[in-house]
A and B are shown apart, each in its own frame.
Chain A
Amino acid sequence: MTDQKRPQLISRRALLRSAGAASAAAAAGAAGVPEVAALPMETAETTLAPTSETSQTTSSVGSRAAYEHLTAEEAELLEAIADQLIPADEIGPGALAAGAVVYIDRSLGGALADTRDAYRGGLAAFDRYCRSSRGAPFRELSYVDQVSALIDVETGAATGAGTGFAGSSAAFFGMVRSHVLQGTFGDPYYGGNRDFVGWDLIKYPGVRTSVWPRLQTQLEAGDLAPNHRSAYDSENFEKAVVRATSRGTSHGD
């Protein structure tokens, strides 16, 4: 996989093109070598996606992405959960195609590093809960059993001998759901929302740096084509770096 090594200052545009190409390849069933954030790019990458020499292998369980922080077992389970939270269906692609789990994996090496233990413990507890209450790992459960197991986690009902969620299982569910939403509907700079599938789902017309009255009129008339670009496609902005905080804050005006 040495062909993944790229020059340091590869452009953001080129990165997104390569991400799009990679996901297209993944969709066609090829083994993916995706990832925007796996490529070194200025200082932000050291926070957002430390490149690990040892983790450049595609998951042996056939996942679509090379994960850097989640183990293969964790990634497999988290992908299955994400696929239930925002499924691919007749409406269109879901969280998996958006790369929501890639987003989480990358963030666990940076801004979400504080939640690494919560993922480790929560995914293990969920696995134990599925086996003890439904008799099989989550991925092997029927659709109905998968949904009912997740409802138990969501409502805090996933308890029982040896399950071992730290605190309520509802807190774990809430964390995963919020991160899956971030990875599906956030800026693709962070590794999710691949091919803008999240923004297209909710008809977000895209990041623009100026919205003149004419554009607002077009939007209200339903004539505004979506603008598929990341904030950092613009050369106007410094790359984002925020370490771990994400503490809740009150109204911010």
Chain B
Amino acid sequence: MATRLPGTDVVIVGLGAAGGVAALPLAEAGLDVVGLEAGSRLTRRDFAPDEIRNNVRAWPFAVQKCANEVPTLRRTRSDTAVQRGGHPMMNAVGGTTLHYWAQSWRLNPWDFRVIAETTQRYGASRIPDGSTVEDWPFSYEELEPYYDRVEHEIGVSGQAGNIDGHRDPRGNPFEGPRKRDYPMPALRWTGFLDKMADSARSLGWQPFPGPAAINSRAYQGRSACMYHGFCNKGGCHVDAKNSPAVTTIPRAEATGRLKVVTHAHVRQIETDNQGKVTGVTYIQGREEFFQPARFVLVASYTYENARLLLMSKSRAFPLGLSNNHSQVGRHYFSHHQGAGVTALFPYDLHAWYGLPAQGIAIDDWADDNFDHSGLDFIGGGNLWVYSDRRPITAASMSTFGRAPTWGSAWKAFVKENADRTNSAYIQKTTLPYETNYLDLDPIVTDPVGDPVIRITAEYKQNELAIADFLQAKMERWYREAGAIEVIRGGLGGQMGVTTHAYGGTRMGDNPETNVVNRYGLSHEIPNLGILGASVMGTSGARNPTLTVQALAWRTAEHLANNWRSIVE
């Protein structure tokens, strides 16, 4: 029997990138907020520069709720889904933002209007067969003030390329117009990054430093980045990575309106006979609690958002909460980030100190920034070259067929080349398709007996064609900078479990094809909202987190401004 707790205005399920941001405008508006987090609180003392713990033994993912809820995977509905590998997300106050790369991009204007722009420029026949892509219910301009707000609230470093239509050649020439500059200048470059930028320019491309939720100088009383090289899967030892754990969550707590509950594992959203939600049931250790709330904001990861809705069945919602149109789990996709390119150079790159968010972006081949008339795909990719190396990873490098993988000849090879290799990160436009979706696995459960999510998804021709096109561009760039060997990864097949998972509770005006409305509120339940990339209908060619946070702020602001009409 669950212990009934005192009621609150808003309960947020998950205090990560999205929920941790939304808590601040809600608390500042005077609403009482309970934040339920499955993980614990960590501090800078937990973030040792330790490659074995962080990277080899995958410390961020060990011993926690999501490690017990790894989704099952299959390519098509005729395959059998199995669990393979781990869950890439972290449970903690601040969530995966504790150890993420912190690349904090705005989507480009094209990403909001894929159908309209493609139809206008090339004709409707260029929308790939079987894709369920829709235009967003609003344009980039609608989200701009929220991007701006979050960039300043949490702190994002970067180089603007377009302030109110005024172009700055140091920034991204393709970005949408922004109201003002980033609050901090971009992270520094290394000599190798300078060389890659020169090489890009000699190809006629337009290199620029990428944006990061990392302090390039002291900001809001927190330190500047120390570039020590353990940012990737490691938390920040000087609080220079601007997770909600060190930015919006403490500020929300300081209002006295946010109560953080850790180790709370939510299993069910409860519903009344009128079709409204009444709160959530969670377990903490062996105890069960019911947290009543006037509004429920679901803010866990994409897989867990869909899972919690599908598990929350009731008389009013027999297929799962907010699923009377059978849209929960639909329009799912994993960002195509694979199909990498790795190069060997005849000189040291001096990449031992740095971080993945310290790098060079090329947007010339992203979105619709180039003419697709003679091509067999729409969209494109962002090329990212960055500085990130640790000793075990370095010694585990490819030998490019130039040496065996052990013995004295190998030893001589790594002695010379451990600091001479670089791998590009290429994020590509990825679309939703009719045959790619999430549902509950009929067999596999977590330790408390709840079904895990089943992913049925594969990359289609459009994604594979982009991958092939972008690998050729990347190889050309590396060769221009003097690479003596270049190898390419496979183009991709199954959509795996990933940190860039989208859809399942898509946002849109049409309730027949979308779960939440343009403000992130359920089409079917007036006092239920959903935050996270699960509401995004397109990926763009860049990391989702800043867009997730801008949307979270917007949903929270809408809720606070319309509180009475929404909950009464």
Does residue B424 face the partner (Cβ distance < 8 Å to A)?
no
Instruction: Give the CA-CA distance A203 to B100 in the complex, in Å.
Output: 27
Given contacts A91-B412, A177-B406, A202-B419, contact A243 B53 (CB under 8 A): no
- B435 close to A (CB within 8 Å): no
Q: Is the CB of B392 within 8 A of A185?
A: yes
- B392 and A203 contacting across the interface, CB-CB below 8 Å: no
B49 CB–A CB distance under 8 Å: yes
Q: Are A253 and B59 in contact (CB-based, < 8 A)?
A: no
B50, B190, B412: the one within 8 Å of A216 (CB) = B190
Within residues 212 to 245 of chain B, which ones have a CB less than 8 A from any CB in chain A?
226-229, 232-233, 237-238
Counting CB contacts under 8 A, is B405 at the interface?
Answer: yes
Contact partner of B499 (CB less than 8 A), chosen from A147, A150, A253, is A253
Counting contact residues on chain B (CB < 8 A from A), the size range is 35 or more
Stretch from B22-30, B309-317, B349-357 contacting the other chain: B349-357
Among B57, B419, B496, point to the contact of A245 (Cβ < 8 A): B57
| Residues of chain B contacted by A182 (CB below 8 angstroms) | 52, 56, 392
- B499 CB to nearest chain A CB (Å): 6
The residue from B86, B87, B406, B543 contacting A86, defined by CB atoms under 8 A apart: B406
> In chain A between 153 and 206, which residues have their CB closer than 8 angstroms to a CB of chain B?
154, 177-178, 181-182, 184-187, 189-190, 198-199, 201-205
Across-interface contacts of A7 in B (CB, < 8 A): none
Q: How many residues of A contact B (CB 8 A)?
A: 56
B62 and A242 contact, CB distance less than 8 A: yes
A174 to chain B, nearest CB (A): 10
Q: Closest Cβ of chain B: how far from A119's Cβ, in Å?
A: 17
Decide: A208 and B350 in contact? CB cutoff 8 A. Answer: no
- Interface status of A111 (Cβ within 8 A of chain B): yes
Q: State whether the Cβ of A236 lies closer than 8 Å to any Cβ in chain B.
A: yes
| Chain B residues with CB below 8 A from A252, complex form | 60, 88, 99-101, 232-233, 499
Residue contact A87 to B48, C-beta cutoff 8 Å = no
**Pick the contact of B353 from A184, A187, A198, A216 — CB < 8 Å?**
A216
A209-B226 contact in complex given A85-B406, A185-B395, A250-B499, C-beta closer than 8 Å:
yes
Q: Find out whether the CB atom of A249 lies under 8 angstroms from the CB atom of B414.
A: no
- CB-CB under 8 A from A178, the residues of chain B are 396
B395 touching A245 by the CB < 8 A rule? no
A208→B62 CA distance, assembly (Å): 25
B227 and A240 within 8 A (CB): no
A150 to B62, CA, bound (A): 33
Query: Is the CB of B373 closer than 8 A to any CB of chain A?
Result: no
Which B118-173 residues have a C-beta within 8 angstroms of A?
none
Within 8 A of B (CB), among A199-253: 199, 201-205, 207-211, 213, 215-216, 219-220, 231-232, 234, 236-238, 240, 242-243, 245-253
Question: Is the Cβ of A248 less than 8 Å from the Cβ of B86?
Answer: yes
| A246→B100 contact, CB < 8 A | no
Q: B289: which A residues are within 8 A, CB to CB?
A: none
The complex places the Cα of A249 from the Cα of B392 at a distance, in Å, of 17
Give the shortest distance, in Å, between B384 (CB) and chain A (any CB): 10
Tell me which of A199, A213, A245 contacts B62 (CB under 8 A). Answer: A245
Q: Is there contact, CB below 8 Å, between B395 and A216? A: no
**Closest B-chain residue to A200, C-beta based?**
B415
Chain A residues within 8 Å of B352, by CB:
204-205, 219
Residues of A within 8 A of B496 (CB): 250
Interface of B is mostly: loop
CA distance in complex: A126, B226 (Å): 47
Assess whether A94 is interfacial by the CB under 8 Å rule: yes
| B51 close to A187 (CB less than 8 A) | yes
- With contacts A204-B394, A245-B57 taken as known, whether A94 is within 8 angstroms of B86 at the C-beta atoms is no
Q: Does chain A have a CB within 8 A of B33?
A: no
> A interface, by DSSP: helix, strand, loop or mixed?
loop
- Measured in the bound complex, the distance between the Cα atoms of B184 and A45 in whole Å is 42
Minimum distance in angstroms from B268 CB to a CB of chain A: 28
Chain A positions within 8 Å of B103 at CB level: 253
Q: Are A201 and B57 CB-contacts (below 8 A) given A147-B407, A252-B499? A: no
Point out the residues of chain A lying under 8 angstroms from B102, CB to CB.
253
- Chain B 336-355 interface residues, beta-carbon cutoff 8 Å to A: 337-338, 350, 352-353
The answer, among A150, A201, A243, for a CB contact under 8 Å with B415, is: A201
Instruction: Select A198's contact among B57, B88, B391, B425, beta carbons within 8 Å.
Output: B391
Chain B residues whose CB sits within 8 angstroms of the CB of A242 once the complex forms: 53, 57-59, 62-63
Q: Does B228 contact A208, Cβ atoms closer than 8 Å?
A: yes
Q: Which of B373-418 contact A (CB under 8 A)?
A: 391-392, 394-396, 405-408, 410-412, 414-415, 418
Considering the complex, give the chain A residue whose CB is closest to the CB of B190.
Answer: A216
Extra inter-chain contacts (4) besides given A204-B418, A252-B233, CB under 8 Å: A181-B396, A201-B411, A236-B45, A249-B58
Interface residues of B (CB under 8 A from A): 44-53, 56-63, 67, 85-88, 99-103, 188, 190-191, 226-229, 232-233, 237-238, 337-338, 350, 352-353, 356, 391-392, 394-396, 405-408, 410-412, 414-415, 418-419, 425, 496-499, 543
Going nearest first, the 7 A-B pairs with the smallest beta carbon separation are: A253-B101, A237-B48, A202-B418, A247-B86, A240-B53, A211-B353, A210-B226
